Amino acid sequence: MSTANTMRAISQDDFGGPEVLKEVERERPTPGMSEVLVRVHAAGLNPTDWKHRAGFPSVDRPVPVLGWDVSGVVESVGGGVTLFKPGDEIFGMLPYPHGAGAHAEYVTGPTRAFVRKPAGIDHIQAAALPLAGLTAYQALVDTADVRPGQRVLIHAAAGGVGHLAVQIAKARGAYVIGTASAAKHGFLRELGADEVIDYREIDFAAGLSNVDVVLDTLAGDTRTRSLRVLREGGLLVSILPFGMDNDAERAAEKAVRLEGLLVEYDHAGMQALADLVQEGKLHAHIDTTFPLAEAAKAHALGETGRTTGKIVLVVR
């Protein structure tokens, strides 16, 4: 049991499978200048969590406490903070990749990594949005500036980033094409997808053309083939910006653009997501929740790659 000065957290001593995760007792952090201490109610899980747990991207030692998505209540504030007061309900993404720590009862972060949680959603819904939502928003809005009528192809459209990207693209007035297994097509239609492709049965690159924007969430051969469906001057944004040299050469040959994006914590982007939620245009689908102590089970499920939407750890 945690005390007044300690907290429960999920940690690991070594890289490896889900079994390396364990619940530990750690000292409760203290907010520094321009920081808030958040009493965590729920924390989202993303593929980067299990990749970091296993040792990719290569780092010298395991991250002490994983987790970038957080929704909770302000416990205390550091010097210079004017945006929030103790008791405020907030949600946001800790600075990626070096600001992890959400899979715990308390976490500190920069004040402007957070915004007020919309009153119409609970902490579980809110915790599912930040990293995946900001990734989709920064790709489609900040990078691609998607406009009404444009044709947008979203890969793995039923996944964590994908299902939010579908909704953000629709809110921008785009014609949205999503790839997913056949069982998830109904789900994507409900989100507003105009066209859905079963990637297991159909070669998307053979049947599509004149696409304005591709959101690549898979990299590898999918990214390479996606360049073929773009119109001249079209844009592919990859959220896995590794090993892109060969694709960059192909993009130049085809007169299309290729951008690699790593998500950044973003006060304005978080507020845009909150506004879309308030307007009823954005909703995170929760595949499964687990209590904090069962983080290893959550990782094991996430690594199957078969979930729809998001997995969330319920902390309080």
Looking up residue 190, the CATH number of its domain turns out to be 3.40.50.720
- Two tokens, residue 244: 């892109």
Q: Which residue has the higher pLDDT, 56 or 226?
A: 226
The Cα-based distances of 122 to 69, 73, 90, 241 in angstroms read 14, 12, 11, 33
Res 82 pLDDT > 60:
yes
pLDDT number for residue 56: 85
- If one counts the domains in the chain, the total is 2
Measured torsion, CA atoms of residues 184, 190, 196, 200, in degrees rounded to the nearest 10: 0
pLDDT digits (tens, 9 = 90+) for 88-126: 999 999 999 999 999 999 999 999 999 999 999 999 999
* 234 and 307, same domain (yes or no): no
Task: Say what percent of the chain tops pLDDT 70.
Answer: 99
Domain with 301 in it: 6-129+284-314
Do 19 and 116 lie in a common domain?
yes
pLDDT of residue 2 exceeding 70, the answer is no
One domain for residues 168 and 53: no
Residue 51 near residue 57 (C-beta atoms within 8 A): yes
Together in a domain, 208 and 251: yes
Q: How many CB atoms lie within 10 A of CB 306?
A: 13
Same domain, 288 and 249: no
CATH code at 60? 3.90.180.10
Q: Please, how many CA atoms are within 13 Å of residue 68, restricted to the half-sphere of its CB?
A: 26
In a domain, 274, yes or no: no
Instruction: Decide if 143 is inside a domain.
Output: yes
Q: Are residues 12 and 56 in the same domain?
A: yes
Are 156 and 248 contained in the same domain?
yes
- Record the pTM: 0.96
Does one domain contain both 105 and 168?
Answer: no
Does residue 273 sit within a domain? Answer: no
Q: What is the pLDDT of residues 167-206, one digit of tens each?
A: 999 999 999 999 999 999 999 999 999 999 999 999 999 9
Same domain, yes or no: 125 and 138: no
Residues 35 and 120 grouped into a single domain: yes
208 with 94, same domain: the answer is no
Question: Is 279 among the domain residues?
Answer: no
Does residue 143 share a domain with residue 63? no
295-302 vs 47-54: helix crossing angle, rounded to 10 = 100
